[in-house]
Structure 1
Amino acid sequence: MIGKTNELKQELGLGAVITNVLSISIGSGIFLLPALVYAILGHGSILAYIFCGIIFLCLGLCFGELSSRIPDTGGMYVYIERAFGPMAGFISNILYWFGVGVLACGALMNALADIAAGYFPIFEETPTRILFFAGIVALTAFLNIKGIRDSMVLIKILTWTKVIALMILVSIALTRIEIGNISWQGFPPFASVGEATLLLIFAFLGGELALASSGETKNASRNAPLGFLIGVILVVLGFSTIHLAAQGVLGESMLENPEAPLAELAKALFGEAGFILVLILSFIAVWSTLSSILTLQPRIIFAGAKDRLIPPVLAKIHPKYGTPYIAILFLAILNFAFAATGSFRYLLVLVTGASLVIYFGAVLSFLKLRWNSKSQRPGQFFVPAGNLLGVFTLILLAWVFFQLSKTELLAIGASIFVLAALFLLLEFLKKRKNQSSPPLKTL
């Protein structure tokens, strides 16, 4: 096992961690969720946000302590590998960058093209879409190879544009709320709350990817957990406020256009111009999320390659820029291929399940590392009553996990089985190769 990845340049601060959490979490989902959640829970929709917020605040505390305890590049993967060893590390590494990252990037790139096609029909044509995907991937890879700080310039511009625009929209909407639209009586069926919470979980997913760049974060033991927790709190508060604003102004009329409730909100406030502005904002939001994932995703592969669980060539660092350029180029090609061919569509069923499995593994790592090491380094973030929190978080995750469909559960189970078998095969071949190699002669 390789130690800290100090070869990478430490160029990120607290603001970059917060920005990446917001960038990834506030994506296309928030432009659809208010209507979808309202269709399930009606006036009591805020309950789903409360449940989801509790889950992610618990996760935030667990992941915050992990990132302070292990301030290395790799995020969730490196925590699982350090706690449970190579096989768990191999499975989590591939599930993370492929089962979540590549498939999500394929979906996001096509979502961008679909939004653009609403204004420019040429984006419906395959050659145009392929050129569009190539341009996005090439730009991100170029900035990423030059340095994560260069990538963060674009991410910050996109992220704070969408955040500020949403804040303005919500601030105005809150002054127009009708109390009757947000008041409710009686508790909705618990199964409905679970269904709506699972829907929200999909939108909240991904913010923890910001921790994958801990090896490039200054004072990572402090800035990584603090930035992540601040980001999670802002996301929870932001999503809840946006929903209340949309529900409070639109009420049941949200269901008339469930595919664009925020655009309908802007239209109600500003007329047709507001509708168009929110659709443009949705393009910026998706682009922001995509840019963060494309930038952070190679750090997971890099960490796995450093630990020699996947080909070590992927851990090569650029001699001038100090970035994992082979991992960046590899993923650029793979992301482009999946987006252009549409192959990601057949595997999208894995995304939520794979993310929840990674979360399970990370929370179990949180508990195991706590039990194995009672010592606390100076300045390390340490969660009070952390053991109780970890067990409570596992129960919450189990409840969410079993809201998945049988198809999703079977898909994630089959994926874990295949990856475990692949790891054992690779280990067997590695041992055979070592046994067949002639011993070195000593002088």
Structure 2
Amino acid sequence: MKLQEDGLKREIGIWGLSANMINIIIGSGIFVLPSIVAGILGPASIIAYIFCGTLAMFIMLCFAEMGSKITKSGGDYTYVETVFGKYPGFLIFMIGFVSRVCGTAAVANALVDTLAVVVPVFHSYTIKIIFFTIIFFGFATINVLGVKQGIALVKFNTMAKLLPLILLIIFGLNFINIDNLKWTTTPHFKQIGDASLILFFAYTGGPTGLLVGGEIKNPNRTVPRAIIASMIFLVFFYMAIQTVSQGVFGSQLSLQTATPLANVGQVIFGSIGFTIIILGTSISMFGNISGQTLNTPRSLFAVSRDGVLPIKAFQKIHKKYATPYISILTFSTLAFVFAILGGFKTLAIFTVAGALLTYASVSIAVLKFRKINVLNKKEFTIPGGAIIPFLSIITCLFFLYHLKKNAIINITIFIGITSFLYWSLNFFKQKNKY
């Protein structure tokens, strides 16, 4: 049973979807993580990258199966709503949508702060407003003009953010001191666990790239292939970055707390290397905003399409460009306003807990959907029966258990408020029928 929809153009292939997920996953965090992980594991840091990559793969394989079988737009929301109903679907939508709006606004502010290091004019509040206007509504315009244009921008941004890091890896090989890579001790499982609590989230974000499910070509093949290719690439890419950083700085890597990769760039390329990596950080943030502008509006479109959010305007598709233009403009406007106002960061504290709850929900949905879905050999099914979904659920519970109490409290409060909103909307919806 393949659930799909009409009205949107299926323009995204394997390369486009892979670039879409890589663009979302690789954020500014990778530019500082090498020193943090090295401070815990030293030369054995690559173990944590393999371990976390494996755990993330468990989760992403669950998304691969659901994305292969449920091919409508909306990603995690659509999977949960299809299997468990409108209320759980609405919770997943709200967690994801609010997190992505707040996260995008936060990234925009971080982008301006980073650019101000190189170009001081960005310290000006007026310049900041002009810059936000250009990027948010510029990206919105491109995405309204067509998903092909939106994914082309994502592909460009993905290559632009990868290029300085690839150059760092290639030229950095000549600067590696092999002695810096030798293990002096065998890491304990607790050390690997401590590093994983930080590093795991460098692999998350991929599910956002599946919100465009209704615009993916041959999703039963494209989704699993793109997910597996992206995750394998990320594991080796992260390991290469860590190896070069460790090889260059050795035990001193853990002391490069502020800008470790920029410092590596300075060693390899001279003073210009520092600037190149700082600009690479900016490009990474730039790419994240473009990716969110492509993907996040599709969840707003989907929740309106299904009548879960009773605002029909969000499900409108542009007659000429076949894009959910109202949803795109709404997302960009909200992100723009939040970016200008600031003071919203406390709203994003629940983001990590919300993501883990979403991943666990989709993993459980895999098991239930297998019972109600007619098996189709063309659709992707995770090998090994229930083993991978169970491992995915355990992974989510492990990281939820280790979150700080305020994160759990915040997500609980948010779920309470969202539940009240859902039942209120449902009450007025029913009342208007009579």
TM range (shorter): over 0.9
2:166 aligned with 1:159: no
| C-alpha displacement of 1:280 | 1.4
| C-alpha displacement of 1:361 | 1.0
Q: 1:393 to 1:250 in 2, by over 3 A?
A: same
CA distance in 1 between counterparts of 2:377 and 2:41 reads: 46
CA distance in 2 between counterparts of 1:57 and 1:346 reads: 30
Give the % identical residues.
Answer: 33
Q: Secondary structure of 2:432's match?
A: helix
Q: Secondary structure of 1:200's match?
A: helix
Q: Point out where structure 2 has 5 or more consecutive residues left out of the alignment.
A: none
| C-alpha displacement of 1:134 | 1.1
| Amino acid of the structure 2 residue aligned with 1:21 | M
Partner of 1:26: 26
Partner of 1:85: 85
- Tell me the C-alpha RMSD between the 2 structures: 1.6
CA distance in 2 between counterparts of 1:192 and 1:347 reads: 31
2:93 aligned with 1:96: no
Partner of 1:11: 11
| C-alpha displacement of 1:157 | 1.5
* Cα offsets for 1:216-258 (capped at 9, x unmatched): 1111121122112211211122112211111121122223431
| C-alpha displacement of 1:179 | 3.0
Partner of 1:440: none
Partner of 1:347: 347
CA distance in 2 between counterparts of 1:48 and 1:66 reads: 28
| C-alpha displacement of 1:289 | 1.6
| Amino acid of the structure 2 residue aligned with 1:42 | G
* Cα offsets for 1:241-277 (capped at 9, x unmatched): 2111111211222234312111111111111111111
Structural mapping, 1:157-306, within 5 Å: 157-306=156-305
| Amino acid of the structure 1 residue aligned with 2:353 | G
Q: For the Cα contact (< 8 Å) 1:254–1:264, is it kept in 2?
A: no
CA distance in 1 between counterparts of 2:400 and 2:304 reads: 30
CA distance in 2 between counterparts of 1:312 and 1:244 reads: 51
CA distance in 1 between counterparts of 2:409 and 2:188 reads: 27
CA distance in 2 between counterparts of 1:5 and 1:133 reads: 34
| C-alpha displacement of 1:351 | 1.6
Q: For the Cα contact (< 8 Å) 1:210–1:228, is it kept in 2?
A: no
CA distance in 2 between counterparts of 1:145 and 1:94 reads: 23
Q: Secondary structure of 2:272's match?
A: helix
CA distance in 2 between counterparts of 1:10 and 1:412 reads: 35
| Amino acid of the structure 2 residue aligned with 1:153 | A
| Amino acid of the structure 1 residue aligned with 2:37 | V
Q: Secondary structure of 1:343's match?
A: coil
Partner of 1:386: 385
The farther-off stretch of 343-352 and 299-308 is 343-352
| C-alpha displacement of 1:105 | 0.2
Q: Secondary structure of 2:71's match?
A: coil
| Amino acid of the structure 1 residue aligned with 2:29 | G
Partner of 2:110: 111
Partner of 2:50: 50
CA distance in 1 between counterparts of 2:191 and 2:343 reads: 32
The farther-off stretch of 187-196 and 3-12 is 187-196
TM value normalised by structure 1: 0.93
The farther-off stretch of 204-213 and 174-183 is 174-183
User: What is the count of residue pairs matched by the alignment?
Assistant: 431
| C-alpha displacement of 1:190 | 4.1
Q: For the Cα contact (< 8 Å) 2:62–2:389, is it kept in 1?
A: yes
Q: For the Cα contact (< 8 Å) 2:108–2:132, is it kept in 1?
A: yes
Q: For the Cα contact (< 8 Å) 1:80–1:365, is it kept in 2?
A: yes
Partner of 1:65: 65
CA distance in 1 between counterparts of 2:184 and 2:319 reads: 63
Q: For the Cα contact (< 8 Å) 1:208–1:228, is it kept in 2?
A: no
* Cα offsets for 1:178-220 (capped at 9, x unmatched): 2332332545454443332222233222112111112111111
| C-alpha displacement of 1:286 | 1.4
| Amino acid of the structure 2 residue aligned with 1:349 | I
| Amino acid of the structure 1 residue aligned with 2:368 | K
Partner of 1:441: none
CA distance in 1 between counterparts of 2:187 and 2:415 reads: 35
CA distance in 1 between counterparts of 2:293 and 2:197 reads: 25
CA distance in 2 between counterparts of 1:127 and 1:339 reads: 13
Q: For the Cα contact (< 8 Å) 1:62–1:386, is it kept in 2?
A: no
Q: Point out where structure 1 has 5 or more consecutive residues left out of the alignment.
A: 438-443
Q: For the Cα contact (< 8 Å) 1:194–1:403, is it kept in 2?
A: no
CA distance in 1 between counterparts of 2:264 and 2:385 reads: 41
Partner of 1:401: 400
Structural mapping, 1:360-439, within 5 Å: 360-373=360-373, 375-434=374-433, 437=434
The farther-off stretch of 173-182 and 65-74 is 173-182
CA distance in 2 between counterparts of 1:300 and 1:142 reads: 18
CA distance in 1 between counterparts of 2:306 and 2:413 reads: 25
CA distance in 2 between counterparts of 1:245 and 1:371 reads: 47
| Amino acid of the structure 1 residue aligned with 2:129 | I
Q: 1:315 to 1:37 in 2, by over 3 A?
A: same
Partner of 2:325: 325
CA distance in 2 between counterparts of 1:68 and 1:386 reads: 16
Partner of 2:126: 127
CA distance in 1 between counterparts of 2:419 and 2:158 reads: 37
CA distance in 2 between counterparts of 1:120 and 1:164 reads: 22
The farther-off stretch of 379-388 and 328-337 is 379-388
